[in-house]
Amino acid sequence: MEDNTTLLESLLERASEYGKTSFELIKLKTLDKTTDVVSTLVPHSVVFVLIATFVLFLNLGLALWLGDILGKTFYGFFVVAAFYILAGIIIHFFMHKWVKKLVGNYFIKQMLK
């Protein structure tokens, strides 16, 4: 009878250790994936900010140049704004699903890597 109690205690102790080890493994895997995703996003964010700054100054220069050609400075800004509203409408209606799928697949690929 005492052997059965000792075996049961040993079994419960091993099951408890297995549960703790499994939980630690899940925590470490989650930390690894999170670190991988964040370490990938940070350089992409820096590049995005640099490209956005470049595009901003390019648009300001283009708007001022077009305004100079058209005779009034604000006309150039209207032309650039009209281009962006037209591009936004085209992307929203025709490319929305494609962009959503592309971004979703990127994040899934990063999480499963």
Q: How confident is the model at residue 103, as a pLDDT?
A: 82
Q: Please give the single-letter amino acid code of residue 41.
A: L
- The predicted pLDDT at position 2 comes to 65
Long-range contacts of range 27-35, CB-CB < 8 Å, 24 or more positions apart? 33/111
Angle (CA) 55 53 101, round 5°:
70
Model confidence at 1, pLDDT cuts 50, 70, 90, reads: low
Residue carrying structure tokens 């305004």: 67
| Residue with more model confidence, 55 or 35 | 55
Enumerate the domain spans of the chain.
2-112
pLDDT tens digits, 37-53: 788 888 889 999 999 99
pLDDT (tens digit, 9 = 90+) per residue, 60-112?
A: 999 999 999 999 999 999 999 999 999 999 888 888 788 888 888 887 877 77
| Residue with more model confidence, 75 or 5 | 75
- Tens of pLDDT, residues 22-36: 999 999 988 888 888
